[in-house]
Amino acid sequence: MFTLIHQDPRFYLVDKHPGASFHREGDAPGLMDALRAGLDDEALWPVHRLDRITSGLILVARSAEAARALGDALAGREVEKYYLALSDRKPLKKQGRVAGDMAKGRGGAWRLTEGRENPAVTQFFSYALEPGLRLFLLRPRTGKTHQLRVAMKSQGAPILGDALYGGSEADRGYLHAYALRFELDGERFAFVCPPLAGERFIGEACRDRLADLGEPWCQPWPGA
């Protein structure tokens, strides 16, 4: 359900596996149950969450004080988050910025609206991997529910394997929390975690492209 990536006296950083639910569902344990069981039943505070289909980096605080500090940094948009996604459809534009208010749609889905009262903001680049497949590097500047999944759909390129938003069938939902950069108690941290599950993510074309991209925070991101 998870792989421990980094251990600090103030937090754990884990790689959530795709398909793992964050919270318990009925009798099925969730990620936080698995973390507590695997980390000696230590008291833990989740700093942020990932959807079931999404794999990748999650910060978990080891004290209430660390949870407050990291939560404040997240709320203040001081935690940089970067994601990877794959789509088998061509986007409306190859790079840019998606912004708009979000409203509930049907069947648990959300939709992007033309409003700008409290917009979800996402920056992105896309790259051709092979015929009929593109890699997206995404940077959410806000933290709305399903934000990246909705942003991709709005560009006409729903995430591969994301059935809720019209993505083509695949062996997993191809969204991965790829990198984090943040500061805690005056100390800077930066982590990159390539995806390790999904035949398209671990294929040679994707691995080669990621090797060429370098660190995501060094990209010339479109204006926020």
pLDDT digit string (tens) for 76-87? 989 999 999 999
Query: Is 208 assigned a catalytic role?
Result: no
Q: H/E element holding 207?
A: helix 204-213
Q: What is the pLDDT of residue 42?
A: 81
Q: Given CATH 3.30.70.360, say whether it is the number of domain 2-213.
A: no
When the pLDDT of each residue in the chain is averaged and rounded to a whole number, the result is: 94
Q: At residue 3, does pLDDT exceed 90?
A: yes
Residues 45-62: tens digit of each pLDDT: 999 999 999 999 999 999
Average pLDDT over residues 105-128: 94
Query: pLDDT for 85-102, tens place per residue?
Result: 999 999 999 999 999 999
Task: State the pLDDT at residue 224.
Answer: 56
- Worst-scoring range by mean pLDDT, 24-33, 125-134, 172-181, 186-195? 24-33
**What is the rounded average pLDDT of the residues 14-18?**
96
Q: Is the pTM of this model over 0.85?
A: yes
Choose the catalytic residue: 15, 27, 41, 51.
Answer: 51
Per-residue pLDDT band at 176 (split at 50, 70, 90): very high
- The predicted pLDDT at position 28 comes to 81
Show the beta-strand stretches assigned E in the chain. Answer: 2-7, 11-16, 45-46, 55-61, 80-87, 95-100, 102-104, 110-112, 120-130, 133-140, 175-184, 187-192
**Cβ atoms of 208 and 141 closer than 8 Å:** no
85 Cβ contact list (under 8 Å, min separation 6): 135, 136, 138, 148, 152, 159, 160, 174, 175, 176
Q: State the Cα–Cα distance between residues 106 and 110, nearest whole angstrom.
A: 7
Q: Which of 37-41, 134-138, 153-157 is predicted least confidently?
A: 37-41
pLDDT for the residue numbered 53: 95
Based on its alpha-carbon atoms, the radius of gyration of the chain, rounded to whole angstroms, reads 17
pLDDT digits (tens, 9 = 90+) for 182-194: 999 999 999 999 9
Dihedrals phi, psi of 200, to nearest 5 degrees: -80, -35
Secondary structure tally for the chain: helices H, strands E: 4, 12
Domains of the chain, residue spans: 2-213
pLDDT score of 40 more than 60: yes
pLDDT at 24 over 90: no
